[in-house]
Amino acid sequence: MPDTPIKLTSFSHGGGCGCKIAPGVLAEILKNSAGFPVPKELMVGIETADDAAVYKLNDEQALIATTDFFMPIVDDAYDFGRIAATNAISDVYAMGGTPIMALALVGMPVNKLPLETIGQIIRGGEAICAEAGIPIAGGHTIDSVEPIYGLVVLGLVHPSKVKRNAGARAGDVLILGKPLGVGVLSAALKKNVLGEDGYAAMIANTTKLNKPGKALAEMDGVHALTDVTGFGLAGHLLELARGARLGAHLEMAAIPLLPGVEQLAHDGYITGASGRNWDAYGKDVTLAATVTPAQQALLSDPQTSGGLLVSCDPASVDEVLALFARDGFGQAAVIGTMQAGQARVTVA
């Protein structure tokens, strides 16, 4: 693990996508929001809590717009910047698009953090944007009580290739591109019990760009696409189920996990966000008696820069898995199915 003299996580009350306002609280905040005129060009807005907005420019191009930012999930400044940038860019891939540029969002306690540390955060973000092939073309900075970093990301997609989180069909197979457990590892890190191997696994997972999204969008057999972030696997799968008005079934034993996270969850290394997530939507999740409390916590574990969640025709499963494997996502796995019925998640 990097030897960092300044503990970035000590400046923030939460970290990564665990900073998200809990889904139940968010729904309460937004329930009385006034309606507004929606132009016909707006292909995707807020109606199904999708990953990004999509605006049709012409018959060949639609603009994807998204933003994401949070407080530190790790103490190493460069790694924090990389994680935040990877997480922000993911939403463009989750819509099936190609990122084209980014704007940086930077809020820092400038009287408490060395300027070199702030520079390392920004350079970490620049490194990931370079890997994605996009420039950081501008941004905005403020003096903030807590360190905050993220991006506004713009992308392009053909209007006919947009992959929403609401297009799943009964009989579809669910495939998850990255293993779960980032929130658990972050909780262990804050308690100083995460070893070097665990830290390395965490960084590798959270800085891996979800580039398969664009190729997945080209496949007719892929019906819905999203990424798993702050609301956990169960929360984002519920959004997919509600959008399609279908039920979702998960096989707990099939869900890929980061090394050691089930034992860490069993030992109590769980984020507060995991509990808040479950309080918000646990009533819409049915667990088999064999599902342990640690496994339940992993279902609601907030994933920072998590994996793509694909709902596809059974005939496309091998092609989807081969695509993930080709791009280095060797732990991508079939985890369940979509079924006719009430919009809820069942876990066996």
d(Cα 36, Cα 16) in Å, to the nearest integer?
Answer: 31
Catalytic residue among 17, 19, 129, 312: 17
129 is catalytic: no
Radius of gyration of the chain (CA): 19
Tokens 């693990």 locate to: 1
Looking at the DSSP bridge assignments, the partners of residue 65 are 53, 154
Q: How far apart are CA 123 and CA 245, in angstroms?
A: 43
Query: Edge to edge, what strands does the sheet with 42-44 contain?
Result: 42-44, 53-56, 62-70, 148-157, 98-108, 136-143
Return the amino acid letter for 12: S
Distance of CA 83 to the CA centre of its chain: 11
Rounded Cα gap, residues 324 and 336, in angstroms: 17
Active site residues: 17
